[in-house]
Homo-oligomer: A and B are copies of this chain.
Amino acid sequence: MLVKPELADQVTGIALVVQDPYLAYATLSKLFDWRRPLQPRVDATAVIASSASVDSSAEISAHVVIGEHAHIAAGVFIGANSVIGDHCIIGADSRIESGVNIYPDVHLGDRVIVHSGTVIGADGFGFAPYQKRWVKIYQSGGVRIADDVEIGAGVTIDRGALSPTVIEKGVKLDNQIQIAHNVVIGEDTAIAGCTGIAGSSKIGKRCTIAGMVGITGHLEIADNTHITAMSLVSKSITQAGAYSSGTGLEPHQQWKRNVVRFKQLDELAKRVKLLEQAQTDKTE
């Protein structure tokens, strides 16, 4: 993070760059970028289905595979060894880095960036129990990703069960995030690395979610909610604000003693209640 620590958001740990000089810097930063200018071409080693359409201004790198009826719009870059499934749409000026795997029926908007190792559209985790075994529920919903979304490296976004998983406009996802089937992430929400969101949860707009946060399934998170690192969200959040869980770090030996006490906490609270009652009885 290039910003000074004191500018980092104290709650989420996501760096918020708030002053105009930084915005100027962000704008200037593009001048030093490592990306080569787009070279419209289809590498001779790419394998493109005859029914796919690739705009002539796109750059398709070595060993890319593009499936049936896929559409690659103008100005798109697809990095080496990436796979685009059947019926996918990659919107204009999007950039898919090397080694990305996109399953069939995934639509990306314009100016979407996807980093290496990311997988979009794998089957959601759905099974019906039957005689102590699991029966697979096939996942026929796809994934819909809107304009101006950036997705980090090693992210997994599962396809929906019947309707699609949805990432709205301007969402920014850091590395190694897991997004389960039928999740909806609202516009301009930013999520830091290693966070996981379970099935069908709906995250509001302009939320900031720090790293390693867990969000269980079927929840709703209000717009403008902020979650701090490694918190577990297991109920819906209906009111904007900052939320946390966890115990904070301690020296290991001291922590061991406190953990023992945590497990007796309900009992301790009852003992305090008894002491208070005894005191009340005496003073009455």
Contact = CB atoms under 8 A, between A and B. Distances in A.
Q: Which of the listed residues A1, A126, A188 has the most CB atoms from chain B within 10 Å of its own CB?
A: A1
Interface string A237-248: 100011111111
Interface string A175-218: 11010111000001010111010111000001000111010111
Interface string A215-246: 01110000000101111111101000111111
A130 B23 CA distance: 7
User: By DSSP majority rule, is chain A's interface helix, strand, loop, or mixed?
Assistant: loop
A139 B3 CA distance: 13
A69 to B, nearest CB: 12
A74 interface: no
22 contacts: A1-B182, A1-B217, A17-B126, A26-B135, A32-B138, A34-B104, A43-B47, A63-B81, A79-B83, A83-B99, A98-B101, A99-B99, A117-B119, A174-B180, A194-B196, A228-B252, A232-B249, A234-B248, A243-B250, A248-B259, A254-B263, A271-B276
Nearest 3 A/B pairs, CB to CB = A1-B199, A2-B161, A101-B116
